[in-house]
Structure 1
Amino acid sequence: MEPVLSAAQPSTTPGVNPSFPTDGQFGNFDFIVVSNRLAVDRVVDEHGESSWRRSPGGLVTALAPVMAKADGAWVGWHGAPDETLEPFDESTMHLVPVPLSAEEVELYYEGFSNATLWPLYHDVIASPEFHRTWWDSYRKVNKRFAEATASVAAEGATVWVQDYQLQLVPKMLRQARPDLKIGFFNHIPFPPLEIYAQLPWRRQVIEGLLGADLIGFQRPSDASNFLRCVRRFKGYTIKAQQVQVPQGDDGVPAYVSRAEAFPISIDTASITELAERPDVIERSREIRRELGDPQYILLGVDRLDYTKGIGHRLKAYGELLEDGAITVEDAALIQVASPSRERVEQYRLLREDIESAVGRINGTHDTMKNTAIRYLHHSYPVEEMVALYLAADVMLVTALRDGMNLVAKEYVAARTGNTGMLVLSEFAGAADTLRQAILVNPHDIDGLKSAIVSAINMPKTERMRRMRLMRRQVVHNDVERWSQAFLDALHLESADHGA
C-alpha cells in the first residue's frame, strides 16, 4: 500500500497537480474513469495490515479490461475522510485518490447528492432538501475531481464520468481541456421536467452535463426527460437527440452534445459460472432445508432504500397470508435488505418501518416450524447471493423507481436451467428489456398480489419459455457489451463533431 499523507499535505507525485494544467501540460493516461469512489476497497487483515482489493461492482468489472488495454487511470474518493493518499497502482489500474473532508462527506455526499439529487431524481418519493451550503460543497468537490482528472489525462484522452455525484465535472473538464473526449453516464433515473424544475440550480446542472460529448442514460425516457429540460431551461437547438451547445453570445455552435440510452447490464459470465458450481448449488439446497423445505420460496434483494418498494412488497405478501392464498407451511419470503446510508434520518426511519412490518407479519402468521419472512439486514458475498437466487422460485423486484435494477438481471442469469419466475416493477429500467417477466405496478397492491400468485402457479412450460427468452437477452447484452457500446458511440460522436 502507498504511504498515507496527512490531510493537509499535498501530493507531490509527478504528473498530479492540484490545479488545472496550463497550456501544453498533459498527463500520461489515455483513458480515465471518474467516479465518486475508487475501483478498490481497503481491507485490513487479522494482523492490522491494510491492503487494497478490487471492488466487486459491475462497473469495475466492465472497465478493468478497458483499463488494461488503454493505459487507464481511475479517479475517485478512497472512502476515508480527512485523509490524503498519493496515487498508486493496483493490478492493471492507476488509481488517483481525491480527498474529502468529513464535512464534505456530510455536505456534498450525504447532503446534496443523497438528500437533494437522489430523492429529486427518483420522482420525489421522499422530499428533497435544498440548501445552498450543500450546493456550494457539491460544486467545490466536483471541481476537485475535475482538477485531478485534467492533471493526469494525456492529450486527446477519453474521460468517462460516472453518475449523479459528479454532474458538473464534464463542463469543468471541457473548459480546462477542450482536447478531451468526454462521456458521462447517469446510473439513476433522470426526472421529468415538472419535477426537475424544483432544483434551484437546475441550469447549472444542465450546463455541467452538456460539457460531455455523449451523455448516457438507462432508459430512452430518461434521455427524453433530459432533452426536455435542456430545451426549457437553456433554449438550445435540439435535433435527433443532439444539442447544439453555443459558445459565447453569438449563437454559433461550439460543439454538439448527444443524449442517448445505454441500458447497463451485469457480468453474466461470472454469475453463470457461480450458478453452476457444485458448492453453490449445494448451498442453495441447504437454504431450502433451513427454511423447512417449503413448496415455494420468494426472494427480495435490495439496498434498504425508500425507492425499492420493500414496504409495498411486504404489504402484498402479508395480505396474501391473511387471505389464505398462501400459507407459511407452503411458502416463505426471504428479504435481504443490505444496510444503506444509516446516518441519514429518512433511512433510519425506513429501517424501523420495515422491521416493524416484518415483526407484525411474523407475529401473526409464524408457527413453531415455519417463519413467514426471513429478514436479513446484512450484505452478503456474491456466492451466497447466487445460492439465494438458485433457491428462490420467485424473485420479487417491486421498485417504485429504479434506473435499472441489476438484481433482476442477476437472478435471470443465475437460472441456468430456465426455471423460476421474475415479478418486476414497470418502474425499473430492467422492465424495458425483460418483457417476459410478470410486470407490475407496485402501488397497485391487489395487482401485486395477483402477480405473486400467478408466478407461483404458472405452468412449468410457460415459466421455462419466459426465462429462456430473458436469459438470452441478459447473456447477449452483458456489462462488457454495454461499456463497449458507450465508448464506441463516444468516439464516433467526438469524431463527427471534432471534439
Structure 2
Amino acid sequence: MAPEFVDEPPATSRAGLLQELGISAEFLGVGVERVDYTKGLPERFRALRWFFERYPEYRERVVFVQLAAPSRVAIPRYQELQREVEDTIREINQALQTRTWRPIIFLNRHYEHREIWSYYRHADFCMVTSLHDGMNLVAKEFVSVRDDDDGVLILSRFTGAARELRDALLVNPYDIEETAEAIRAAIEMAPEERAARMARMRRTVREHNIYQWAGLLLSELTRIPLEVAGAKEA
C-alpha cells in the first residue's frame, strides 16, 4: 500500500472521489503542487488546452484535477503567478466547457497526505511538469501509491526524478505540443504497457530509497581519506 507515504490509506473509491468532486470522467488526470513559478503550471494548462483542441473526441471524457497549495502569498511575484494560473484556467474552461463538463478543476488549498492519496490512486495519469526541480517527491509518491500497477506518470525532463523514473513519459514542459501528445499517449496506452512501466518504476522507487542514498554517501565519505592520502604521496 505504500506505508511510507500514508499510514492508513483512505478507502475512497474512484466513484466516491468523482462524486465528491461533483464530476463524471472516463479519464482522470491529476497534478499536485505548490503554486510556484518553478512548477510550470501555466505551461501545463496550455498543454491541456492544446490537447483538447487537437483531440476534441476527448472533450467531456477527460477531466484534469489540479491540487495547488498556495505559496508565499505575501510576495508580489507569487501573487502575480496565482492570478496568471487562475486566469489561464478560467480562459480554458470558458472556451471549452459544456453544460455538464469542465476540463480543469482547480482546488487551491493545502491538502493532507491522506487526502492526496485518493487522487494518486484513482488518476489515470499524473503530471509533474516542472520547469526546473530537484528530485520531486510528487512523482515518487504517485508511483509508490500505485500498487495496482496502473496509471501513467508524465514527467518533466528537468526534474531529478527523471534520471530514475525512465518509464515515465518524459517531456520538455516548455514544449506545449509535446506535453499534449504525452497526455494522449497516457490515455491511449495499452493496459499491459501501463502495468509493465509502473511495475518497473515501483521497483526503482523501492530500491532508490533513503537507506540506499545513505549507504552511497557513506561509501563515498570513506574513500575521501584514501584519495587525500594518495594525493599527498604523489
User: Do Structure 1 and Structure 2 share a fold, with TM-score over 0.5?
Assistant: yes
Q: 2:51 aligns with which of 301, 320, 327?
A: 320
Residue 340 of structure 1 aligns to which amino acid in structure 2? S
Higher relative helix content: 2
Give the counterpart of 2:169 among 435, 438, 441.
438
Give the letter for the 2:152 counterpart: M
Judge conservation of contact 2:167–2:198 (CA < 8 Å) in 1.
Answer: yes
Aligned to 1:310: 41
Secondary structure of 2:65 counterpart? strand
Answer yes or no: is 1:287 the counterpart of 2:17.
yes
Of the candidates 98, 109, 115, which is equivalent to residue 367 of structure 1? Answer: 98
Equivalent residue for 1:485, pick from 216, 224, 230: 216
| Consecutive unaligned residues in structure 2, runs of 5 or more | 230-234
What do the CA deviations read for 1:174-198 (whole angstroms, capped 9, x no partner)? xxxxxxxxxxxxxxxxxxxxxxxxx
Contact 2:34 2:69 in 1 (8 A): yes
One-letter code aligned to 1:301: V
1:207-243 deviation per Cα after TM superposition (whole angstroms, max 9, x unaligned) = xxxxxxxxxxxxxxxxxxxxxxxxxxxxxxxxxxxxx
Q: What residue ranges of structure 1 are gaps of 5+ in the alignment?
A: 1-267
> How many pairs align?
227
Match of 1:296 in 2: 27
**Secondary structure of the structure 1 residue equivalent to 2:12:** helix
Q: Which secondary structure state, in structure 2, belongs to the residue aligned with residue 307 of structure 1? A: coil
2:86 alignment counterpart: 355
Query: Residue type of the partner of 1:270?
Result: E
Provide, for residues 23-66 of structure 1, a one-character-per-residue CA deviation record: whole Å limited to 9, x for no partner.
xxxxxxxxxxxxxxxxxxxxxxxxxxxxxxxxxxxxxxxxxxxx
Scaled by the length of structure 2, the TM-score of the pair is 0.89
Instruction: Quote the Cα distance in structure 2 between the aligned partners of 1:390 and 1:325.
Output: 26
Structure of larger gyration radius: 1
- Sort the Cα spacing of 1:465 and 1:338 in 2 relative to 1 into closer, same or farther, 3 A: same
Listed one character per residue, the Cα deviations across residues 367-408 of structure 1 (whole Å, up to 9, x for unaligned) are 332221110111111011111101211011111111111100
Matches of 2:22 and 2:189, distance apart in 1: 22
For 1:271, give the aligned amino acid: F
- Pairing partner for 1:416 from 107, 123, 147: 147
Displacement after TM superposition at 1:485 (Å) = 3.0
Contact 1:425 1:442 in 2 (8 A): yes
Aligned to 1:262: none
Give the alignment's Cα RMSD to 1 decimal. Answer: 2.1
* Cα distance in 2 for residues equivalent to 1:345 and 1:328: 35
CA distance in 2, matches of 1:406, 1:447: 23
Q: Does structure 2 retain, via aligned residues, the 8 Å contact 1:285–1:391? A: no
Q: Does 1:390 align with 2:124?
A: no
Q: Is the 8 A contact 1:272 1:416 kept in 2?
A: no
Distance in 1, matches of 2:50 and 2:28, equals 17
- d(CA) in 2 for partners of 1:427 and 1:474? 18
**Aligned-partner SS, 2:158:** coil
Q: What does 1:12-91 align with in structure 2 at a 5 Å threshold? A: none
Deviations 1:90-132, CA, capped at 9 Å, x for gaps: xxxxxxxxxxxxxxxxxxxxxxxxxxxxxxxxxxxxxxxxxxx
Aligned pair 1:448/2:204, yes or no? no
**Equivalents in 1 of 2:15, 2:208: separation in Å?**
29
Q: What amino acid maps onto 2:112 in structure 1? A: P
Distance 1:492 1:432, change over 3 A: same
Q: How big is the shift at 1:497?
A: 4.7
Residues 291 and 332, structure 1, Cα contact 8 Å, conserved in 2:
no
- From 302, 317, 339, give the equivalent of 2:70: 339
Distance 1:385 1:442 in 2: 23
The more displaced of 307-316 and 319-328 is 319-328
Q: How far does residue 291 in structure 1 lie from its aligned partner after superposition? A: 4.5
When normalised by structure 1's length, the TM-score is 0.43
User: Matched residues in 2 for 1:486 and 1:459: separation?
Assistant: 39
1:469 maps to 2:200: yes
Q: Deviations over 1:397-447 (max 9, x none)?
A: 111111111100110111001000011111111110100111111111111
Q: CA deviation at 1:494?
A: 5.5
Structure 2 residue identity aligned to 1:406 = L
Kept in 2: contact 1:320–1:326 (CA 8 A): no
**Match runs of 1:80-229 below 5 Å:** none
One-letter code aligned to 1:371? R
What SS class does the counterpart of residue 118 from structure 2 fall into? helix
- Residues 1:270 and 2:4 aligned together: yes
- Residues 472, 337 of structure 1: CA spacing in aligned structure 2 closer, same or farther, 3 A cutoff? same
- Structure 2 counterpart of 1:427: 158
Kept in 1, the 8 Å contact 2:130–2:159? The answer is yes
| Residues in 1 aligned to 2:112 and 2:154: alpha-carbon distance in whole angstroms | 24
Aligned to 1:65: none
Aligned partners of 1:494, 1:387: CA distance in 2, in Å?
48
Hey, what's the Cα distance between the residues in 1 that align with 2:73 and 2:116?
Answer: 22
Identity %: 34
Which structure shows the higher strand fraction? 1
